[in-house]
């Protein structure tokens, strides 16, 4: 399991395509080769009410939380974090220059004992790999 | 306190009634007899931007996080988790068969030292139990 | 970093102005003098599907989670929590009297090792402090 959630201030929707950003971050996750494909889920949702830093109306944020199962090494987690931030920065390069946008990422581990999954997507993807695309 | 939050991909809204699902999960929570009624809050919200697993457009998810105060035994937490997953699966049985939907649940404990509550619903419910429904 | 998120049931929008509430909570955060101004972000979003306590349709909630970097003392965290709750209560005084609204706050610490920030707002605010408002 590798669940990446982005919260963003909705003044960004006129500049950014979050569907596309989710897609590019999903590919970065897969590139790490430490998360099963079927367990990777990236999602983003807008926040309409906010008050940031000095309260300037152009202030904006994208706040990411990645929740993963335990078992990855410290190095793997650090590399994943760095690659995700780098990819997000590449997607918002112009906006960062305005000095009104702040980005954040945090990686949290999920205690497998108190975590449950029901994911038939695994089965579908395995079948595609074995028998070709349906 | 027992706060259950569901995030779901918004391609599910045409198939599922999340208001009803919240209601049925609330009853499961109450059935456990380990959470005070006034402290049980179940909520669900849709996510419009996402990219899941192999990126198939029919891929969907429901991701649950249950936050509870410390003090419940391991067995109580495990049983709560299993009952919630079973109830959610019952609500989405047909969709799981399509192999495009993934479910997840995680239980997290809240550190009571850094947690605050102001909940007059307790008082209202106690009064109903004592004096009958207003 | 000091990221305060409010989730609220959307039956409250007819009574409350969450933009204004975010602003007043941001000022409380700054008043603590333990969070750098550029790192303070308060945000609120509505939840449309929910089922609360005894299921009464007027039941409502505001659920706050404050995520901060490690390094603040226990006393500082306790005072921050108390001041935020007090400010929120002041904003919803009348509604609390109806005994249908519940409030909650939880403070969580972010592991700095697995946390990343890119925040040019720091630079902009520093420049304002040094050279005056642009």
Q: What is the per-residue DSSP string for chain B?
A: -EEEEEEEEGGGTTT--HHHHHHHHHHHHHHTS-S-GGGEEEEEEEE-EEEETT--TT-EEEEEEEEEETT--HHHHHHHHHHHHHHHHHHSHHHHHTT-EEEEEEEEEE-GGGEEEE-THHHHHHHHHHH---
**Which pLDDT score is estimated for B134?**
52
Shortest distance between the Cα of C29 and any Cα of chain A, in A, equals 10
Averaged pLDDT of chain B: 96
The answer to whether B78 and A115 have CB atoms below 8 angstroms apart is no
CA distance C63 to C102: 8
Average the pLDDT over A26-55 and give the result: 97
Contact C47, B41 (CB under 8 A): no
Question: Residue A130: which pLDDT band, with cuts at 50, 70 and 90?
Answer: confident
By CB neighbour count within 10 A (0-12 exposed, 13-18 middle, 19+ buried), where does A73 fall? exposed
Set of chain C residues whose Cβ sits within 8 Å of the Cβ of B7 = none
Q: Exposed, middle or buried: residue B54 (CB in 10 Å: 0-12, 13-18, 19+)? A: middle
Q: How far is CA C117 from CA A61, A110, C40, in A?
A: 11, 22, 12
Q: Give C28's pLDDT tier (boundaries 50, 70, 90).
A: very high
What average pLDDT does this structure show over C51-79?
A: 97
Q: Which chains touch B (3 or more CB pairs under 8 A)?
A: A, C
Per-residue pLDDT, averaged over B64-73, amounts to 97
**What is the reported pLDDT for A128?**
87
What are the residues facing A14 on neighbouring strands?
A: none
Query: To the nearest whole number, what is the mean pLDDT of chain A?
Result: 96
pLDDT band for position C77 (cuts 50, 70, 90): very high
pTM across the whole model = 0.95
Q: Which of A5, A117, A125 sits opposite B54 (nearest CB)?
A: A125
Mean local confidence (pLDDT), C119-134: 85
pLDDT of residue C103: 98
pLDDT band at residue B91, thresholds of 50, 70 and 90? very high
Mutate to test the interface with B, among C57, C74, C104, C107 (most CBs of B within 10 A): C104
Judge whether residue A58 has pLDDT over 80: yes
Kind and range of the H or E run holding A109? strand A101-110
- The ipTM estimated for the assembled molecules is 0.94
Question: Tokens in use for B24?
Answer: 């049925």
Backbone torsions φ then ψ of B45, nearest 5 degrees? -145, 145
| Predicted local confidence at residue C129, as pLDDT | 84
| CB contact (8 A) between residue A53 and residue C41 | yes
Architecture of domain B2-131: 2-Layer Sandwich (3.30)
* Residue range B8-36: mean pLDDT, rounded: 98
Instruction: Let me know how long chain C is.
Output: 134
Closest Cα in chain A, distance from residue B102 (Å): 4
- % residues pLDDT > 90 (chain B): 93
Q: What is the pLDDT of residue B133?
A: 63
pLDDT at site C134: 52
Token pair listed for A69:
């199962």
- Partner-chain residue, chosen from B43, B111, B116, that has the shortest CB–CB distance to C50: B43
pLDDT (average), residues C91-101: 96
The side-by-side arrangement of strands in the sheet containing B115-118 is A49-52, C40-47, C2-9, C60-69, C101-110, B115-118
pLDDT at A133 over 70: no
d(CA C126, CA C134): 12
């Amino acid at each position: 399991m590798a669940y990446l959630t982005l919260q963003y201030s909705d003044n960004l929707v006129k500049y950014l395509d979050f569907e596309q950003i989710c897609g590019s971050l999903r590919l970065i996750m897969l590139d790490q080769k430490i998360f099963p494909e079927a367990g990777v889920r990236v999602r983003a949702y807008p926040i309409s009410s906010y008050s940031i830093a000095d309260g300037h109306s152009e202030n904006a944020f994208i706040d990411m939380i990645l929740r993963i199962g335990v078992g990855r090494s410290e190095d793997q987690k650090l590399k994943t974090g760095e690659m995700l931030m780098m990819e997000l920065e590449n997607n918002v390069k112009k906006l960062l220059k305005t000095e009104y946008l702040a980005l954040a990422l945090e990686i949290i581990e999920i205690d497998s004992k108190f975590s449950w999954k029901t994911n038939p997507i695994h089965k579908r993807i395995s079948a595609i790999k074995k028998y070709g695309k349906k």
